[in-house]
Amino acid sequence: GARGEEEKRSCCSQKLKKVPQCHVELEQLSFSRTHNVLIDVNEFHHKRTLKPHSGRHVWHSDFVKMPCSPESLIKTGWVTSSERSRWEVVSKQLESLAKKTTASVGDVEKAIKKYNPKYEDQWSFDALHTFVQKSPKEEKFYMSVFPKIAELASSLPHYIKKAIPLLKKGQTQSITLSQSQIACLLANAFYCTFPHRNSPNPRAEYHNYPTINFNSLFEKWSERKREKLRALLHYFHTVTDPATRPSGLVTFERRYIRDRDMPHWGSCKETVPKLHVSSAGCIEEQGAGMLQVDFACNMIGGGVLGSGLVQEEILFLMNPELIVSRLFTEKLGDNECLFITGSQQFSHYSGYSDTFKWEGPHRDNFKRDEWQRLHRQIVAMDALHFRHQREQYNMKQVTRELNKAYCGFKADDNTYPDFLPDIATGNWGCGAFNGDPKLKALVQLMSAARAKRGVAFFTFNNLILERELQDMHHLLVTHRTTVGELYELLVDYCAVIQLAHTHADLFDWIRNTLKHRSQL
Ligand code: AR6
């Protein structure tokens, strides 16, 4: 009856587990072989201050090559080729910008091209020019923010005093740094100071890393660029104002699981986990306190510095600290994800893609944990990109997605399942990446079951999908279907789809198959 329907639909919404309620107290912040902390941990314990940790910069393929490293050189003079310290040139430009009360886009462009002479003719700043020209009076503060960003960027040697490791393929490694250190690194990205990061050559040193310098953001004016620039300049405005400067830590952790440690999906005995489905709301708001899924690109952040503007890019624009992950995160492999704990939300927005609008400042009211990190945990996991829908109905691909999601949902070995927040997700891989929302929902449910976590699923206004998922979940719970059984059902379904000329809907097919079997 209607009542039962209602109960079924509101299933568990009250019982979702969130932080800080289900948070376990952390051990003391400390260094380890796999955890690089860029602030002084002793000062942090004794005085709760976030002082940069001293050490030294190294010019090495395992670390970020910094613009302020003595090894970073710039060619000067065309006839007799001589070299000088890149940071000398960069800091001179930045310092002279920093002295001004306002700087024009022309000033910014000139400075950037001074230390990127190779790109003088290639980089266009038309979007930034148009942006400032067209910005309404009440937003004219932009020209006074440019010098402040330059000042922050020029203080790089004071903020980062030791080498930042690269989070490389096939490793489980984390980096913890302060929000001010992130702001300083991003100020450098804004001013395009990072060396070795601009070459589009597929054999270039950092070809397997996302871009980090902001030059691509400043070119090719569009309405999208306007909204992106509003969001990012608001971020810089906030972090350069002593009254609103953020003061906490953020951790970036790359997690890798070896093939042989992945579940044998066909023999998993777990039954489907608790599920809350909602067509209203979105991951970042209604999913607050849960592990929030970033529908990522294997190059973390995707098109955030270009023209992309879907879930991941929007998330990165609202929480610009996430962008710094592009500096040190190598392209994600199949068995790995990136976890970000403690990033701050600076803005709020409306719309999506072409209708996306920056709607103004956001006051982040999240509480902080013992490491002074905001209680916000995001996991970046990249789904497969299918050019043709049909490609996905193949167990090799399905298993890859199961493993990827498992890597994203699995707790680290120290956390009891009872203390794990549930997962806030939705149509992962089903927009730009062309996946089947029903197949992906099942995949995520199976991985969550194995990781012993509940799921809050946001269908993003899709009422039909909301109802269908609720019904499917109800069916699987009633039949006590296990993950292993579901896996076998998917094996059969893929075989059918490969042979058939018409497309059988996954949920219809499962429903019929289960019904048929129970009649035998
Ligand atoms: N909350 C809940 N659901 C959402 C939200 C949200 N905030 N935003 C979007 N959706 P998409 P993909 C739903 O296309 O297919 C980026 O460029 C909505 O139904 O962002 O995994 C990345 O960098 C949407 O259609 O994810 C990658 O390169 C669906 O989620 C690529 O896109 C999928 O969102 C990833 O593409």
* Strand segments (E) across 305-435: 336-341, 347-350, 357-361, 377-382, 423-426
Q: Please pick, among 109, 227, 284, 313, the residue that the annotation labels catalytic.
A: 313
Assess whether the C-beta atom of 429 lies below 6 angstroms from ligand 1.
Answer: yes
Residue type, position 323, single letter = I
Q: Long-range contact list for 396-403, CB < 8 A, 24+ apart?
A: 398/439, 398/443, 398/490, 398/494, 399/265, 400/334, 401/429, 401/440, 401/443, 402/263, 402/265, 402/443, 402/446, 402/447, 402/487, 403/257, 403/262, 403/334, 403/335
Assess whether the C-beta atom of 466 lies below 6 angstroms from ligand 1.
Answer: no
Mean pLDDT over 416-435 rounds to 94
What's the gap in Å between 317 CA and the centre of ligand 1? Answer: 14
> Measuring from atom 8 of ligand 1, which residue has the nearest CA?
311
* Residue among 290, 427, 428, 464 to mutate when testing ligand 1 (max atoms within 8 A of CB): 427
* pLDDT for the residue numbered 302: 98
What's the gap in Å between 429 CA and the centre of ligand 1? Answer: 7
Mean pLDDT over 160-183 rounds to 98
pLDDT in tens, 334-345: 999 999 999 999
What's the gap in Å between 312 CA and the centre of ligand 1? Answer: 6
Burial label, 313 (beta-carbon count in 10 A; 0-12, 13-18, 19+): buried
* pLDDT for the residue numbered 139: 79
Assess whether the C-beta atom of 304 lies below 6 angstroms from ligand 1.
Answer: no
* pLDDT for the residue numbered 473: 98
What's the gap in Å between 290 CA and the centre of ligand 1? Answer: 18
Mean pLDDT (the chain, rounded): 94
* Residue among 290, 297, 311 to mutate when testing ligand 1 (max atoms within 8 A of CB): 311
Assess whether the C-beta atom of 266 lies below 6 angstroms from ligand 1.
Answer: no
* pLDDT for the residue numbered 294: 98
* Residue among 211, 295, 347 to mutate when testing ligand 1 (max atoms within 8 A of CB): 295
* pLDDT for the residue numbered 344: 98
Q: Please pick, among 107, 227, 284, 294, the residue that the annotation labels catalytic.
A: 294
Residue 194 has pLDDT above 90, yes or no: yes
What's the gap in Å between 152 CA and the centre of ligand 1? Answer: 33
pLDDT in tens, 265-293: 999 999 999 999 999 999 999 999 999 99
Residue 223 annotated to the active site: no
Q: Residue 322: which pLDDT band, with cuts at 50, 70 and 90?
A: very high
* pLDDT for the residue numbered 9: 43
> For the chain, what percent of residues have pLDDT higher than 70?
96
* pLDDT for the residue numbered 10: 39
Residue 313 annotated to the active site: yes
> Measuring from atom 24 of ligand 1, which residue has the nearest CA?
431
Dist. CA 186–CA 149, nearest whole Å: 9
What's the gap in Å between 126 CA and the centre of ligand 1? Answer: 28
In the structure encoding, which two tokens stand for residue 260, read together?
A: 């042989």
pLDDT in tens, 351-397: 999 999 999 999 999 999 999 999 999 999 999 999 999 999 999 99
Q: Tell me, what's the ipTM?
A: 0.99
H or E stretch covering 83: strand 82-85
Mean pLDDT over 223-248 rounds to 97
pLDDT in tens, 311-321: 999 999 999 99
Give yes or no for a contact between 453 and 444, defined as CB atoms under 8 angstroms apart. no
Residue 83 annotated to the active site: no
* pLDDT for the residue numbered 492: 97
Contacts of residue 514, defined as CB under 8 A and 6 or more positions apart, other chains included, come to: 475, 479, 481
Q: What is the DSSP letter of 177?
A: E
* pLDDT for the residue numbered 79: 61
* Residue among 278, 290, 310 to mutate when testing ligand 1 (max atoms within 8 A of CB): 310
Dist. CA 266–CA 484, nearest whole Å: 4
Torsion of CA 14, 18, 24, 25, to 10 degrees: -120
* pLDDT for the residue numbered 78: 64
* pLDDT for the residue numbered 520: 77
Residue 98 has pLDDT above 60, yes or no: yes
Q: Residue 6: which pLDDT band, with cuts at 50, 70 and 90?
A: very low
Mean pLDDT over 109-133 rounds to 97
Instruction: Write down the number of H helices and E strands in the chain.
Output: 18, 13
Cα separation values, 177 from 295, 315, 488, Å: 24, 20, 44
> Measuring from atom 11 of ligand 1, which residue has the nearest CA?
431
